[in-house]
Structure 1
């Protein structure tokens, strides 16, 4: 029986563990945190086949520059002299092309549909017990003709590639989701999407893995690697040294720093997102994206979550109150009789999402080491793509034909 070490215990790392268990691996997960917070816990809980347009798309860099000095803007890049960030920004700008979008669309659609199917299988299997998995779709709510026109173009493209989507009349929208602001002009309803409660699934997945004898090394930070030729022989942490037949690097926003220790450059920048949980009755019936504000709203089990923003400011623990306030204000601007309290804003948390320069994840082996696989760079789709990534990594390690073509996710692709 082979041993595998997974560096990172977010949804991607845990999903890798889940599917590698099915292949009879002995598994150890190492994580620098206590696995109680971060991007896998504070996200919007969406399963999003509809999100076919990568973050690196035409006009995004211009928006980033425009909003650079507005720290409450939806897409904020903090100006800083950091070589990794400058190189990433250059590659992101090169990737923000129509050609990149066209190449990415089928890949994003296929991996999202695969992951949604795997979440469904996980739910139906009962292995984790009961958890929220609701297939009510996702509303894209818009207040301006400009955003409406843009989203209708995306919806048309989504329809063309076989996704279930519908443009709603105001009367249809108000039936599905009452108590909306009169300023809302309409919505696109992506019926292909679903939603979950991430904290619920993460807790149940950890419990299941522990019962299956997966070893968790928490509050333990990987500091270095011992190499021998084209193999990683040992992982050195602040608490010990470990060896395994296979290594999976699923360390999210910390992946670039770790990969540089072994002569690789897995280019990612941490994209900070925030969430506010409201544990009381709200008007929210269906998951929705508030388009002008770039905020996500999700009716989860026991609470409603308001989440959003993309803040590229490096790895740090700073919660920017102005960004939390912008999410709270957006909630009031789109829903009638909804005010998020000061206490609820003070309880806001953040997560760091690993963003690659072209908006696609890194999934697969490297050519430099024959026992290393990469599983990171999922940007805002980490939650949605967790199970699919875990399944694909298990197929890579066992030399099985992958469930989909993963050439576009090559960790060593050039930008």
Structure 2
């Protein structure tokens, strides 16, 4: 019996292996690097059922063009001659409509709520183990009239779709952050959201899988696939061939390249993000998004992580310090007495988020190959949606009814 093979050692891949293991399967994981250096360890750690609107939505095109005029802005596309980039941008443009948003909301909401519950269940079963799951909600802070209008409109949309929402004034916000002044006109509070320590979750889950007998192949670049009939029988790597029964591709921004090797189209671009940790002084209490700056802030006791930007780039290792400066500058604008020093180079994390052109993940069976599934394209919500994605892929592999609808996430929707 060949093992189930998961390509990708990020949080989506680890949770896929976890739920396959719960089904009694033999599981192996293959990763092109050391696993720890990916978006799963450097993200904001937010679990956000509130994020029911896909990245491709009305207004994003206009915002994107205006942001590209500033080197410190939240969004940037590196100009280059790249047919894949042109195709991706055209698809993104076509999907940035109100109709697409309305159609996507039920699918994203169901997936997010399932994932949040799975996180709660996971911690209840395994204990904290440094994961630091904090069910404190998420605060969207705004400073301008335009920001207030946008966030209040979204609060109406979220409430109409059954989410818990609270509109807060500046005094309410200050009660949530008693240790530091918050400069904000107001905020929208989503009490059902949560956050955790992403690196500690990844560390614990990887260790748990190894203890349960999961074999992990690191630093293996995929070169191709062995095929027989309508099945993939093995993965060819630069260090030999690895046989597989079920094949789960959870390779983040590189999943599109693997789909090409399998003979079909999976539009994907890497959206580079940056983050850094600072001493939490004075201590922030509440996970927040600084909406005008598009910066996230996640406190973990004595440490706090700030992150942001979306840079569509083919240079994953290059750090653009102007973009990091944009994140850093937002701290004093919203928290004027927070003591922050610009991070040293070695403190700055960057990674490529896997972005589909319609802002929805790819979850489900691949075209052509009966034993191949994909779980990727989660953009900035990989950690938030990881448990649900892993559980759904394990259910698909065992021909079980999925725990939530998959219609919005079909893998071959652009074929």
Q: TM-score, normalised by structure 2?
A: 0.96
Partner of 1:126: 126
1:61 and 1:80 map into 2 onto residues whose CA distance is 18
Partner of 1:63: 63
SS state at 1:111 partner: helix
SS state at 1:389 partner: helix
SS state at 1:349 partner: strand
State whether structure 2 residue 319 is matched by structure 1 residue 319.
Answer: yes
Q: Which moved more, 1:319-328 or 1:54-63?
A: 54-63
SS state at 1:286 partner: coil
Partner of 2:357: 357
1:166 and 1:2 map into 2 onto residues whose CA distance is 51
Alignment map for 1:110-125 (pairs within 5 Å): 110-125=110-125
1:376 and 1:294 map into 2 onto residues whose CA distance is 23
Displacement, 1:222?
1.0
Displacement, 1:127?
6.3
Q: What RMSD over aligned residues (CA atoms) do the two structures have, in Å?
A: 1.6
Partner of 2:202: 202
Displacement, 1:282?
3.4
Unmatched segments (≥5 aa) in structure 2:
none
Aligned partners of 1:144 and 1:185 also within 8 Å:
yes
Partner of 2:252: 252
SS state at 1:49 partner: coil
Q: Which moved more, 1:80-89 or 1:295-304?
A: 295-304
Partner of 1:395: 395
Q: Which whole-Å deviations, capped at 9, do the CAs of 1:167-186 have from their partners, x for residues lacking one?
A: 01222111112366564201
SS state at 1:134 partner: coil
Aligned partners of 1:181 and 1:333 also within 8 Å:
no
1:346 and 1:178 map into 2 onto residues whose CA distance is 31
Q: Which whole-Å deviations, capped at 9, do the CAs of 1:62-120 have from their partners, x for residues lacking one?
A: 22233334332111111111111110110000011101100111111111100000000
Q: Which whole-Å deviations, capped at 9, do the CAs of 1:250-276 have from their partners, x for residues lacking one?
A: 000001111111111111100111101
Structure-2 change in CA distance of 1:387 and 1:59 (3 Å): same
Partner of 2:265: 265
Aligned partners of 2:274 and 2:309 also within 8 Å:
yes
Displacement, 1:10?
0.3
User: What is the count of residue pairs matched by the alignment?
Assistant: 415
1:336 and 1:63 map into 2 onto residues whose CA distance is 26
Displacement, 1:243?
1.1
Displacement, 1:280?
4.3
Partner of 2:49: 49
Q: TM-score, normalised by structure 1?
A: 0.96
Displacement, 1:128?
7.0
Displacement, 1:228?
2.2
Aligned partners of 1:283 and 1:335 also within 8 Å:
no
Displacement, 1:382?
0.3
SS state at 2:305 partner: strand
Displacement, 1:242?
1.0
